[in-house]
Chain A
Amino acid sequence: MALSNETIQNKLIEKFGDQVLNFSTASGILSFESPKEINLKVLQYLYEEPSLGFTFLTDLCGVNYPDNIGAELVVVYHLHNFSENIRLRYSISTSINETAVFTVSKLFESANWMERETYDFFGINFVGHPNLKRILNVEEMDYFPLRKEYPLEDQTRIDKDDEMFGRG
Chain B
Amino acid sequence: MRARISSLRDHVLARHLAAALLGLVVVVMVLESVSDYRNTQLASMAYLGIAAGGLTVLTGLNGQLSLGHGALMAIGAYTSALLLPDNESSLPLSVVVLVAVVVTLAVGAAVGLAAARLHGPYLAGATLALAVAVPGIALYFKETLGGEQGLRVVMPDIPVWVLDAVFFVTGQDLTRSRFTAYVAWLTLIVVFVLLANLGAGRTGRRWRAVRDDEVAAELAGIDLGRARVSAFMVSAAAAGAAGAILAFTVKLAAPSAFTLTLSLTLLAAIVLGGLGSLAGALIGAALLTFLPSVVTDIGTDAGLSDIQAAELAPLVYGLVMVAVILLAPAGIVGSLRGALLRARARRRTPASAEPPATGTTSGTGTTTDPHADTTETAGTTPATTSKGTAS
Chains A and B are bound partners: no
